Amino acid sequence: MFGSGFWAAGKGWLYPTEKQQGFWRAVGFFVLLFLLFQLLQIVITLIIYSVGFHQSLLALRDPELARSPTMLKSLLIAMFPASVPTLFLGLYFAQFGLPNRLGLLPLLNPRLGVLGWVAVIFGFMILMFGALNLVYWLAKFDTLHDSGLVERTMADMTSDPRIFAFALPSIILAAPLAEEFLFRGVLFAGLTNTFVGRTGAVIITAALWSLAHAGPAPWVNVGLIFVMGLVMGVLLLRFGSLWVTIACHTAWNAMTTLAIFATGAPQ
Protein backbone atom coordinates (compact mmCIF):
# COMPACT_ATOMS: atom_id res chain seq x y z
CA MET A 1 0.00 0.00 0.00
CA PHE A 2 3.05 2.21 -0.36
CA GLY A 3 2.95 3.53 -3.90
CA SER A 4 5.80 3.48 -6.39
CA GLY A 5 6.33 7.21 -5.91
CA PHE A 6 6.97 6.73 -2.19
CA TRP A 7 9.81 4.28 -2.81
CA ALA A 8 11.17 6.33 -5.72
CA ALA A 9 11.39 9.40 -3.47
CA GLY A 10 13.50 7.39 -1.05
CA LYS A 11 16.11 6.88 -3.77
CA GLY A 12 16.42 10.46 -5.04
CA TRP A 13 14.89 13.87 -5.60
CA LEU A 14 11.86 13.71 -7.88
CA TYR A 15 11.41 17.42 -8.57
CA PRO A 16 11.72 18.01 -12.36
CA THR A 17 15.24 18.87 -13.45
CA GLU A 18 14.21 20.62 -16.67
CA LYS A 19 13.45 24.31 -16.58
CA GLN A 20 9.72 24.97 -16.14
CA GLN A 21 9.51 28.76 -16.03
CA GLY A 22 11.90 31.60 -16.80
CA PHE A 23 12.83 33.59 -13.70
CA TRP A 24 11.39 36.96 -14.69
CA ARG A 25 8.31 35.36 -16.18
CA ALA A 26 7.71 33.47 -12.95
CA VAL A 27 8.26 36.62 -10.86
CA GLY A 28 5.84 38.54 -13.08
CA PHE A 29 3.20 35.83 -12.77
CA PHE A 30 3.74 35.64 -9.01
CA VAL A 31 3.37 39.40 -8.48
CA LEU A 32 0.33 39.61 -10.77
CA LEU A 33 -1.46 36.68 -9.11
CA PHE A 34 -0.56 37.87 -5.61
CA LEU A 35 -1.90 41.38 -6.29
CA LEU A 36 -5.02 39.94 -7.94
CA PHE A 37 -5.69 37.76 -4.91
CA GLN A 38 -5.24 40.73 -2.56
CA LEU A 39 -7.54 42.93 -4.65
CA LEU A 40 -10.27 40.28 -4.89
CA GLN A 41 -10.03 39.60 -1.17
CA ILE A 42 -10.44 43.31 -0.35
CA VAL A 43 -13.46 43.73 -2.64
CA ILE A 44 -15.18 40.55 -1.43
CA THR A 45 -14.38 41.43 2.19
CA LEU A 46 -16.14 44.78 1.83
CA ILE A 47 -19.16 43.09 0.26
CA ILE A 48 -19.39 40.53 3.09
CA TYR A 49 -18.85 43.25 5.70
CA SER A 50 -21.60 45.40 4.21
CA VAL A 51 -24.15 42.83 3.03
CA GLY A 52 -23.45 39.83 5.24
CA PHE A 53 -22.85 41.66 8.54
CA HIS A 54 -24.99 44.74 7.72
CA GLN A 55 -22.22 47.20 8.53
CA SER A 56 -21.74 50.66 7.03
CA LEU A 57 -18.68 51.08 4.81
CA LEU A 58 -18.52 54.76 5.74
CA ALA A 59 -17.57 53.76 9.28
CA LEU A 60 -14.32 52.26 7.95
CA ARG A 61 -12.85 55.74 7.81
CA ASP A 62 -12.07 55.08 11.46
CA PRO A 63 -8.83 52.98 11.48
CA GLU A 64 -9.98 51.16 14.62
CA LEU A 65 -13.15 49.93 12.94
CA ALA A 66 -11.13 48.81 9.92
CA ARG A 67 -9.43 46.28 12.23
CA SER A 68 -12.58 45.34 14.10
CA PRO A 69 -13.50 41.67 14.74
CA THR A 70 -16.34 41.94 12.21
CA MET A 71 -13.96 43.17 9.49
CA LEU A 72 -11.45 40.42 10.30
CA LYS A 73 -14.19 37.79 10.12
CA SER A 74 -15.22 39.16 6.72
CA LEU A 75 -11.58 39.01 5.59
CA LEU A 76 -11.24 35.36 6.56
CA ILE A 77 -14.47 34.34 4.84
CA ALA A 78 -13.44 36.22 1.67
CA MET A 79 -10.26 34.18 1.20
CA PHE A 80 -12.03 31.26 -0.46
CA PRO A 81 -13.96 33.12 -3.20
CA ALA A 82 -10.87 35.27 -3.85
CA SER A 83 -8.64 32.23 -4.31
CA VAL A 84 -10.78 30.43 -6.93
CA PRO A 85 -10.27 32.84 -9.88
CA THR A 86 -6.66 33.36 -8.83
CA LEU A 87 -5.95 29.63 -9.07
CA PHE A 88 -7.65 29.22 -12.43
CA LEU A 89 -5.79 32.21 -13.88
CA GLY A 90 -2.55 30.84 -12.46
CA LEU A 91 -3.08 27.49 -14.15
CA TYR A 92 -3.73 29.35 -17.40
CA PHE A 93 -0.49 31.35 -17.03
CA ALA A 94 1.43 28.15 -16.30
CA GLN A 95 0.88 27.06 -19.91
CA PHE A 96 3.38 29.65 -21.10
CA GLY A 97 6.46 27.73 -19.99
CA LEU A 98 8.79 25.66 -22.08
CA PRO A 99 7.23 23.33 -24.69
CA ASN A 100 8.62 20.08 -23.27
CA ARG A 101 6.44 20.41 -20.14
CA LEU A 102 3.89 22.84 -21.60
CA GLY A 103 4.79 25.08 -18.71
CA LEU A 104 2.83 22.92 -16.28
CA LEU A 105 3.75 23.12 -12.63
CA PRO A 106 4.55 19.85 -10.80
CA LEU A 107 0.93 18.84 -10.20
CA LEU A 108 1.17 15.22 -11.27
CA ASN A 109 -0.07 12.47 -8.98
CA PRO A 110 2.89 11.53 -6.73
CA ARG A 111 1.58 7.93 -6.45
CA LEU A 112 2.35 7.51 -2.77
CA GLY A 113 -0.31 4.91 -2.00
CA VAL A 114 -2.55 5.03 1.06
CA LEU A 115 0.17 4.25 3.58
CA GLY A 116 2.60 6.55 1.80
CA TRP A 117 0.24 9.50 2.18
CA VAL A 118 -0.34 8.61 5.83
CA ALA A 119 3.40 8.38 6.49
CA VAL A 120 4.20 11.69 4.80
CA ILE A 121 1.35 13.71 6.32
CA PHE A 122 1.65 12.29 9.84
CA GLY A 123 5.44 12.56 9.72
CA PHE A 124 5.11 16.23 8.77
CA MET A 125 2.52 16.86 11.49
CA ILE A 126 4.59 15.18 14.21
CA LEU A 127 7.74 17.06 13.17
CA MET A 128 6.02 20.45 13.12
CA PHE A 129 4.02 19.79 16.29
CA GLY A 130 7.25 18.95 18.11
CA ALA A 131 8.97 22.07 16.75
CA LEU A 132 5.98 24.24 17.70
CA ASN A 133 5.85 23.01 21.28
CA LEU A 134 9.62 23.30 21.71
CA VAL A 135 9.70 26.89 20.44
CA TYR A 136 6.64 27.89 22.47
CA TRP A 137 8.21 26.41 25.60
CA LEU A 138 11.56 28.14 25.04
CA ALA A 139 9.91 31.48 24.23
CA LYS A 140 7.38 31.14 27.08
CA PHE A 141 4.68 31.84 24.49
CA ASP A 142 1.10 32.02 25.80
CA THR A 143 -1.26 30.87 23.04
CA LEU A 144 -4.24 32.39 24.82
CA HIS A 145 -2.88 35.94 25.07
CA ASP A 146 -0.02 36.14 22.56
CA SER A 147 -1.63 34.57 19.47
CA GLY A 148 -2.07 36.50 16.24
CA LEU A 149 -5.13 38.24 14.83
CA VAL A 150 -6.19 35.26 12.73
CA GLU A 151 -6.18 32.85 15.67
CA ARG A 152 -7.99 35.29 17.96
CA THR A 153 -10.57 36.06 15.28
CA MET A 154 -11.26 32.37 14.69
CA ALA A 155 -11.55 31.78 18.43
CA ASP A 156 -14.10 34.60 18.58
CA MET A 157 -16.03 33.02 15.69
CA THR A 158 -16.54 29.79 17.62
CA SER A 159 -19.37 31.50 19.51
CA ASP A 160 -21.39 31.32 16.27
CA PRO A 161 -20.81 27.95 14.53
CA ARG A 162 -22.54 29.17 11.35
CA ILE A 163 -20.05 31.98 10.84
CA PHE A 164 -17.19 29.64 11.79
CA ALA A 165 -18.38 27.20 9.12
CA PHE A 166 -18.21 29.93 6.47
CA ALA A 167 -14.54 30.50 7.36
CA LEU A 168 -13.58 26.81 7.19
CA PRO A 169 -13.18 26.62 3.37
CA SER A 170 -10.90 29.65 3.48
CA ILE A 171 -8.59 28.34 6.19
CA ILE A 172 -8.53 24.65 5.28
CA LEU A 173 -8.73 24.81 1.46
CA ALA A 174 -8.16 28.29 0.05
CA ALA A 175 -5.08 29.24 2.07
CA PRO A 176 -3.12 26.01 1.33
CA LEU A 177 -4.05 25.98 -2.37
CA ALA A 178 -3.34 29.66 -3.02
CA GLU A 179 -0.18 29.89 -0.94
CA GLU A 180 1.37 26.64 -2.16
CA PHE A 181 0.54 27.43 -5.79
CA LEU A 182 2.05 30.91 -5.58
CA PHE A 183 5.11 30.34 -3.38
CA ARG A 184 6.14 26.72 -3.93
CA GLY A 185 4.54 26.56 -7.37
CA VAL A 186 5.13 29.56 -9.60
CA LEU A 187 7.93 31.29 -7.68
CA PHE A 188 9.75 28.08 -6.75
CA ALA A 189 9.78 26.96 -10.40
CA GLY A 190 11.31 30.26 -11.49
CA LEU A 191 14.05 30.14 -8.85
CA THR A 192 15.27 26.56 -9.16
CA ASN A 193 17.21 27.08 -12.39
CA THR A 194 18.81 30.38 -11.41
CA PHE A 195 22.14 30.80 -9.61
CA VAL A 196 20.43 30.28 -6.22
CA GLY A 197 19.59 26.70 -7.20
CA ARG A 198 17.19 24.41 -5.42
CA THR A 199 18.55 25.21 -1.96
CA GLY A 200 18.09 28.91 -2.55
CA ALA A 201 14.59 28.32 -3.90
CA VAL A 202 13.62 26.50 -0.69
CA ILE A 203 15.05 29.24 1.55
CA ILE A 204 13.73 32.23 -0.44
CA THR A 205 10.20 30.89 -0.84
CA ALA A 206 10.06 29.94 2.86
CA ALA A 207 11.28 33.42 3.84
CA LEU A 208 8.80 35.26 1.61
CA TRP A 209 5.97 32.98 2.70
CA SER A 210 6.69 33.66 6.38
CA LEU A 211 6.99 37.42 5.76
CA ALA A 212 3.57 37.35 4.09
CA HIS A 213 2.21 36.29 7.51
CA ALA A 214 4.19 38.88 9.46
CA GLY A 215 1.32 41.36 9.80
CA PRO A 216 -1.32 39.32 11.65
CA ALA A 217 1.03 36.77 13.25
CA PRO A 218 3.39 37.21 16.26
CA TRP A 219 7.13 36.89 15.62
CA VAL A 220 7.29 33.39 17.13
CA ASN A 221 4.71 32.12 14.65
CA VAL A 222 6.49 33.85 11.75
CA GLY A 223 9.63 31.92 12.66
CA LEU A 224 7.68 28.66 12.83
CA ILE A 225 6.09 29.39 9.46
CA PHE A 226 9.60 29.86 8.03
CA VAL A 227 10.66 26.48 9.40
CA MET A 228 7.48 24.92 8.00
CA GLY A 229 8.29 26.49 4.63
CA LEU A 230 11.74 24.90 4.68
CA VAL A 231 10.26 21.48 5.48
CA MET A 232 7.66 21.75 2.72
CA GLY A 233 10.29 22.94 0.26
CA VAL A 234 12.29 19.79 0.96
CA LEU A 235 9.14 17.67 0.58
CA LEU A 236 8.48 19.32 -2.79
CA LEU A 237 12.00 18.51 -3.97
CA ARG A 238 11.83 14.97 -2.63
CA PHE A 239 8.42 13.96 -4.02
CA GLY A 240 8.28 16.32 -7.01
CA SER A 241 4.61 17.21 -6.58
CA LEU A 242 2.81 20.24 -5.20
CA TRP A 243 0.03 17.91 -4.03
CA VAL A 244 2.32 16.74 -1.22
CA THR A 245 2.87 20.24 0.17
CA ILE A 246 -0.79 21.15 -0.37
CA ALA A 247 -1.87 18.03 1.56
CA CYS A 248 0.52 18.76 4.45
CA HIS A 249 -0.49 22.42 4.55
CA THR A 250 -4.18 21.48 4.51
CA ALA A 251 -3.74 18.91 7.28
CA TRP A 252 -1.93 21.41 9.49
CA ASN A 253 -4.55 24.12 8.99
CA ALA A 254 -7.34 21.60 9.61
CA MET A 255 -5.73 20.45 12.86
CA THR A 256 -5.25 23.97 14.23
CA THR A 257 -8.75 25.02 13.12
CA LEU A 258 -10.40 22.05 14.81
CA ALA A 259 -8.33 22.69 17.94
CA ILE A 260 -9.60 26.28 18.08
CA PHE A 261 -13.19 25.13 17.50
CA ALA A 262 -12.92 22.45 20.20
CA THR A 263 -11.42 24.71 22.85
CA GLY A 264 -12.78 28.10 21.81
CA ALA A 265 -9.28 29.53 22.29
CA PRO A 266 -6.30 30.36 20.01
CA GLN A 267 -3.89 27.47 19.46
206: helix, coil or strand? helix
pLDDT digits (tens, 9 = 90+) for 128-163: 999 888 887 887 776 655 566 677 788 888 888 888
Q: Identify the pLDDT of residue 146.
A: 58
Burial class for 135, CB neighbours closer than 10 Å (0-12, 13-18, 19+): middle
Q: How many CA atoms lie within 13 A of 140 on its CB side?
A: 0
Q: How many CA atoms lie within 13 A of 141 on its CB side?
A: 21
pLDDT digits (tens, 9 = 90+) for 187-204: 998 899 899 999 999 999
pLDDT digits (tens, 9 = 90+) for 22-48: 788 889 889 999 999 999 999 999 999
Q: Identify the pLDDT of residue 241.
A: 93
- pTM score: 0.89
Distances (CA, A) of 65 to 50, 61, 69: 13, 8, 8
Cα–Cα distance for residue pair 81/28, rounded to 1 Å: 23
Residue 258 and residue 155 in contact, taking contact as beta carbons nearer than 8 Å: no
Judged by average pLDDT, the poorest of 63-67, 85-89, 102-106, 224-228 is 102-106
Query: Would you say the C-alpha torsion 242, 243, 247, 253 has a positive or negative sign?
Result: positive
Q: Does the pLDDT value for residue 208 go beyond 90? A: yes
pLDDT digits (tens, 9 = 90+) for 54-101: 888 877 777 776 678 888 889 999 999 999 999 888 888 776 654 454
35: helix, coil or strand? helix
| DSSP secondary structure, 39-77, as one string | HHHHHHHHHIIIIIS---GGGGGSHHHHTSHHHHHHHHH
Higher pLDDT: 114 or 158? It is: 114
Average confidence score pLDDT of the chain: 86
E strand or H helix at 81: helix 69-93
Judged by average pLDDT, the poorest of 93-97, 170-174, 229-233 is 93-97
Domain range summary for the chain, segments of one domain joined by +: 4-263
Higher pLDDT: 67 or 227? It is: 227
